[in-house]
Amino acid sequence: MSVAVVDTNVVLVANGQHADVSGTCVATCAVELQNIMQSGRLALDDQFRILGEYLHKTQPKKGNRPGDAFVKWALQNRVNVMRVDSVTLQAHDTRGFESFPNDAELANFDDPDRKFVAVANAHPAKPPVLQAADSKWLDWAPALARHGVAVEFLCKSDITRFHEKKFGA
């Protein structure tokens, strides 16, 4: 059973809550979430930071969209050690978390996204962070990789297009 850290934008894309992504990207994200629910494992922090962000942006009680169903599953399984790995994060004054890499190239990393990297880096298996549509991660991925944190881009053509539009070729 493989384990992954799921960035919130994967959940939102699967829900169709990102207007600029392709239909292929929406389907890919939905399938990835379904795979985790059926046979994978999810890594979360033990302080509800990631789940709290999911809840803030989804409607798991209705569960009609793929991302909502995933969040409902994550809530139902958050203490099921067979399906969810709970990772303890230690606070850090400047990096946000002790397990967030100390690297000058990551100094401008978005504060709200640091929890995903911190969970991946603190987890003994160093699972990948699944990313769908946040193009800044393309720039951060090499520095993260140097610290053993892999980013799996589920929608490579979409995210590359967003990056080129935002930052140029």
Domain of residue 116, CATH code: 3.40.50
Q: Say if CB 99 and CB 121 are below 8 A apart.
A: yes
The pLDDT value given to residue 1: 64
Look at residue 128 and tell me whether its pLDDT is greater than 90.
Answer: yes
Tally the domains of the chain. 1
pLDDT band at 124 (very low <50, low <70, confident <90, very high): very high
pLDDT band at 120 (very low <50, low <70, confident <90, very high): very high
Q: Per residue in 48-61, pLDDT tens? A: 999 999 999 999 99
pLDDT band at 101 (very low <50, low <70, confident <90, very high): very high
pLDDT band at 19 (very low <50, low <70, confident <90, very high): confident
Taking the model in full, what pTM does it have? 0.95
Q: Which two tokens stand for residue 130?
A: 């699944």
Average pLDDT of the segment spanning 138-144: 97
How far apart are the C-alpha atoms of 28 and 115, rounded to whole Å?
23
The pLDDT value given to residue 36: 98
Percent of the chain with pLDDT over 90: 91
Q: Could you list the residue range(s) of the whole structural domain that residue 42 is in?
A: 3-167
Sorted by sequence, the CB contacts under 8 Å of residue 129 that are 6+ apart come out as 4, 5, 6, 7, 116, 117, 120, 137, 144, 149, 150, 151, 152
Average pLDDT of the segment spanning 6-32: 96
Look at residue 45 and tell me whether its pLDDT is greater than 90.
Answer: yes
How far apart are the C-alpha atoms of 98 and 95, rounded to whole Å?
7
Average pLDDT value for the chain: 95
For 16, counting Cβ atoms within 10 Å of its Cβ (0-12 exposed, 13-18 middle, 19+ buried), the class is middle
How far apart are the C-alpha atoms of 83 and 160, rounded to whole Å?
32
The pLDDT value given to residue 79: 95
